[in-house]
């Protein structure tokens, strides 16, 4: 039973390290909205959020999000 407890603790602690990201510089600004990763968002200010409801494929939803972000002036 003791080994099961130690194994469980080791798995939980190693799982926490999977959520930690190494900071990366954000991409250079452009005239179009860009998708960035969590690691790239560390030094950037939050300007808002964008959501969409689209029927279709995930690509359709991604295009709708990019269009909405461009319309709101995201760079």
**Would the pLDDT of 58 be above 80?**
yes
pLDDT tens profile 6-31: 888 887 777 666 666 777 888 888 88
Q: Which residues contact 65 (CB under 8 A, 6 or more apart)?
A: 50, 51, 52
User: Does residue 56 or residue 2 have the better pLDDT?
Assistant: 56
Given this model, what pLDDT does residue 59 score?
92
- Please indicate whether residue 2 or residue 57 has the higher confidence score (pLDDT): 57
Q: Where are the domains of the chain?
A: 24-75
pLDDT at 60: 93
pLDDT of 38 reads 81
Q: CA 41, CA 70: separation in Å to the nearest integer?
A: 18
């Amino acid at each position: 039973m003791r080994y099961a407890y130690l194994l469980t603790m080791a798995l939980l602690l190693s799982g926490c390290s999977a959520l930690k990201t190494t900071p990366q510089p954000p991409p250079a600004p452009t005239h179009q909205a860009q998708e960035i990763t969590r690691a790239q968002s560390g030094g950037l200010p939050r300007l808002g959020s964008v959501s969409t409801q689209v029927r279709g494929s995930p690509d359709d939803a991604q295009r709708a999000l990019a269009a909405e972000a461009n319309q709101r002036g995201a760079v």
